[in-house]
Structure 1
Amino acid sequence: MKKIGAIAAASLFLLAACGSSSDVSQSNTEGEKSEASVSGSILVAGSSAMQPLVAAAAEEFEAENKDASVSVQAGGSGQGLLSVSNGQSDIGNSDVFAEEKDEIDAGALVNHPIAVVGMGPAAHPEVGIENLSKQQLIDIFTGKVTNWSEVGGADVDVTIVNRPDSSGTRDTFVNYALDGATPVEGITEESSNAVRQIISETAGAIGYLAFSYYDGSVTPLQVDDVEQTDENVTSGKYPIWAYMHSYTKGEPEGLTKDFIDYMLADTVQQEIIPELGYIPVADMKVKRDAEGNQSDI
């Protein structure tokens, strides 16, 4: 992964005096500029769609703050929300709103929207098609279509690759690509990396991925003749997208606050997010609430 340019020296140090996990050191020399550094360790867990972004941000953050450690784990949005709610992690990443998970006390969590991610159907390169109508997509994932020749593709059986129920990527795809229809059982993989690998290696396979996972090994399928592009997401033309949320239990403090602030600062928002295939929230011309209602900004 290409290294992101470091921000100017004045912004390398975050003035965080709220919490024991951040240490502030200042020079006693008269006339010399004060410097602050952050230290300690935090755990960030949750959305695998968000993991590449947070891992890249953590790497840059640690490079600029040598005494800080940010561990990043996947496991799915549901697990991220549960872990931060239970105090097992300091930050829970999710590509669904906490309010969408019945088992989560959303009122106890604070939402920090970091980015937007597009998602879509991805197929083995030899299925023979590049576009599906939404109805064809629903028919494939609900088992009504079992061979690609039924939708104009190659004569090869369809293999469905799913994420588990705890996955925010699955929730987003089911809600906005399948109109709430339940996918048939197929191959279930815990991470988006594994989904991509299975699709690329299995003739007739189809699953769903965040745009950030496309690397040329699978084919992103158009939906109703609309391509999976950032421009189509930001304009509202392409409907399969989600916010990338970082949740904290209450207002963040110490190193947790330092890292949240870093992800909202220019280095991440203007450099890392676009480079890794995500979309800055500020670029969106539409918005969506926890009930799934989309409207113009």
Structure 2
Amino acid sequence: MDLPGFDTMVALLSIAIPVLAFVWEFFVGGLKRLGYRIQMDTTATEAAQSADAGVLRDMQQNGAPLTDPSFVLLRIENTGWTPIVTDDYLTPNDDPVGIRVRFPHRRVAGTVVTELSQPALRDSFVGDSFGVEQGDGVIKLPKVKLNPRAHYKVLAVLEREPGYEAETFPDPEVVAGLVGGRGGGRIRLRKTEGHVFASKPAQAFMALVVLVSITQAFLTFTRDEPRPAPLDCAGGTLHLHGSTAFAPVVLEAAKQYQETCEAKGVKIVPTEAGDFEGSGDGLEALNAAGDKVKLPGSKGLGDRLTFSDGRAEGNRPRLLPRPVALSLFTFVVNKDTGVQNLTRQQLKDIYAGEITNWSKVGGNDVPIHLVSRRSGSGTRVTLVQRVLDGRQMPQTTVDDCTALDPDKYGRCEVGDTGTMLDKVATIPGALGHSEVGRADGREDLFPVRIDGQQATLEGVEQGTYPFWQTEYAYTFGEPPADSIAAAFLRYLANEVGKDVLRSHGNRPCSELEKPLLCEPT
């Protein structure tokens, strides 16, 4: 049997250590635990000479002033997770004293209880169980019943032992113990800090967790090993075609798929958005590739996909569409037009040639120049269907957009979205259309609202924004399940692929409140 790798062992330790820390803290070491805290241990050596000493100057025992008096404030507490009762103390049953505190080289002049977490504890401090032990330097404390986190405080006044010349005194010695704990084991009295957090073994476990986490992070970020291919990866060359507007989205997703499935040897063709030929031409290329191979029966191409803005036109029975995302489009204008909002009727009149100057729609006195996509473009089909109510584009006035007459209304056509945006930005009075993600960030263009509505996915779902389309992925026949085309389609439908779609302003079809907007087949 193969042993777990180093990374696996580190991961298992990161789980096991906090579990062990929890068990130790709350079950092994924390069932019964009695703690003490020295909250004050200070001398009052100069009391006799201070003018403001007051009663401190008169501190006496048996009529004699105290020698080098000192004060100790002791806190006793239940720091465990179960109650402590009188039978838990390790002293004999006939001994009412549960704790003894010895102060080396000092004598106890007096002692008093100063604080009780529960008033009922006061009844424990009566009789011979509380006070000064024989030998003067020892305080005896009773077997007090303490609930978890309960405590009491004792203030002691002491004086220096004759003949002891050192400047400081040794720490008090607290002697006590409990019976109990896991397996009936003895638990010694613990000295606690000012803020109880966790026992030292638990803190050691936590330090180990931090060390393991740092080690795991270091291994993760420093190892440069090829990632194993996920089970859904497929290798080979994937040929992509179609929409120039959707091309950047497709290529980004394809690049991430290529990195994820590096071990499978994935190649993407093409690698630049400018090499996409448009929806119509891409569908023709896919159809021609399938016909050329002459695939039998229902077998489909496994290495080609075409993305189209909207459904394909014409009779291509073996091209199968799959809705991928809802895509937004927008109109854009040159900055000198002076408009940023148009009604649908105004847009229809502009494309019909009935409005030829921007001054007629509240803009500047500049002739309108339409920059459009060529026939077969999915973006153009979307414009005609969604905004112009099926009215076709007017005839072009020039073949080259640079030849538009600056003083007259005119129209020209270009082959891709990137060229269109560049032409609109440089031609005075130009109006064009684009996928929103391609137009965003262009400071040399103005987006145009339609009937006052900005291009938003919410507007589409609410029916207030008309310029949108379903992006379809087309295959020639049904691609084999283990083919790279089928694997990439599945990749677009999982969370990583959806993240790419969202980042470009698209909405995955599976996330729409109204799925019918994606027009599933």
Shorter-chain TM-score bucket reads: 0.7 to 0.9
Instruction: Rate the CA distance shift 1:125–1:213 in 2: closer, same or farther, 3 A.
Output: same
1:258 corresponds to which letter in structure 2?
A
2:489 aligned to which of 260, 265, 270: 260
Superposition deviation, residue 283 in structure 1: 3.4
SS at match of 1:179: coil
Cα distance between partner residues in 2 of 1:244 and 1:289 = 8
Cα distance between partner residues in 1 of 2:496 and 2:448 = 32
- 1:294 maps to which residue? none
Q: Deviations over 1:122-176 (max 9, x none)?
A: 1112311111111110111121111100111011111100001110000000111
Matches of residues 73-112 of structure 1 in structure 2 within 5 Å? 73-87=275-289, 90-98=304-312, 101-102=313-314, 104-105=315-316, 107-112=317-322
Superposition deviation, residue 272 in structure 1: 0.8
- 1:144 maps to which residue? 354
Superposition deviation, residue 110 in structure 1: 2.1
2:429 aligned to which of 185, 194, 204: 204
- 1:219 maps to which residue? 446
Comparing 131-140 with 70-79, greater Cα deviation is found at 70-79
Q: How many residue pairs are counted as aligned between the two chains?
A: 257
Q: Deviations over 1:210-261 (max 9, x none)?
A: 1111123321111111111222123322121111111111112211111111
Q: Is the 8 A contact 2:470 2:518 kept in 1?
A: no
Cα distance between partner residues in 2 of 1:245 and 1:125 = 33
TM-score (norm 1): 0.81
SS at match of 2:336: coil
Cα distance between partner residues in 1 of 2:512 and 2:434 = 20
SS at match of 1:169: helix
Superposition deviation, residue 263 in structure 1: 1.2
| Runs of 4+ with deviation above 3 angstroms | 9-12, 288-291
Cα distance between partner residues in 2 of 1:173 and 1:149 = 23
2:438 corresponds to which letter in structure 1?
Y
Cα distance between partner residues in 1 of 2:432 and 2:468 = 15
2:414 aligned to which of 189, 214, 226: 189
Cα distance between partner residues in 1 of 2:436 and 2:307 = 17
Asked if residue 281 in structure 1 is aligned to residue 509 in structure 2, the reply is yes
Q: Is the 8 A contact 2:470 2:519 kept in 1?
A: no
Instruction: Rate the CA distance shift 1:130–1:158 in 2: closer, same or farther, 3 A.
Output: same
Q: Is the 8 A contact 2:358 2:368 kept in 1?
A: yes
Q: Deviations over 1:185-229 (max 9, x none)?
A: 212111101111111111110011111111233211111111112
Cα distance between partner residues in 1 of 2:389 and 2:429 = 23
Q: Is the 8 A contact 1:141 1:183 kept in 2?
A: yes
Asked if residue 135 in structure 1 is aligned to residue 360 in structure 2, the reply is no
- 2:235 maps to which residue? 39
1:120 aligned to which of 330, 337, 359: 330
Q: Is the 8 A contact 2:278 2:377 kept in 1?
A: yes
Q: Is the 8 A contact 1:235 1:284 kept in 2?
A: no
Cα distance between partner residues in 2 of 1:40 and 1:181 = 43
Cα distance between partner residues in 2 of 1:232 and 1:76 = 26
Asked if residue 69 in structure 1 is aligned to residue 263 in structure 2, the reply is no
Instruction: Rate the CA distance shift 1:231–1:290 in 2: closer, same or farther, 3 A.
Output: closer
Cα distance between partner residues in 1 of 2:365 and 2:447 = 19
1:13 aligned to which of 230, 246, 260: 230
1:59 aligned to which of 228, 233, 255: 255
Cα distance between partner residues in 2 of 1:13 and 1:205 = 48
1:70 corresponds to which letter in structure 2?
I
1:247 corresponds to which letter in structure 2?
Y
2:368 corresponds to which letter in structure 1?
V
Superposition deviation, residue 284 in structure 1: 2.7
Report the RMSD for the aligned CA atoms in angstroms: 2.1
Q: Is the 8 A contact 1:235 1:285 kept in 2?
A: no
SS at match of 2:258: helix
- With CA pairs under 8 Å and 6+ residues apart, which has the higher RCO, 1 or 2? 1
1:125 corresponds to which letter in structure 2?
K
Q: Is the 8 A contact 2:509 2:518 kept in 1?
A: no
- 2:476 maps to which residue? 249
Q: Which has the larger radius of gyration?
A: 2
Cα distance between partner residues in 2 of 1:128 and 1:158 = 12
**What is the aligned-residue identity percentage?**
27
2:465 aligned to which of 227, 233, 238: 238
TM-score (norm 2): 0.47
Instruction: Rate the CA distance shift 1:236–1:285 in 2: closer, same or farther, 3 A.
Output: farther
Q: Is the 8 A contact 1:163 1:190 kept in 2?
A: yes
Cα distance between partner residues in 2 of 1:85 and 1:62 = 25
- 1:4 maps to which residue? none
SS at match of 1:126: helix
Cα distance between partner residues in 2 of 1:260 and 1:172 = 23
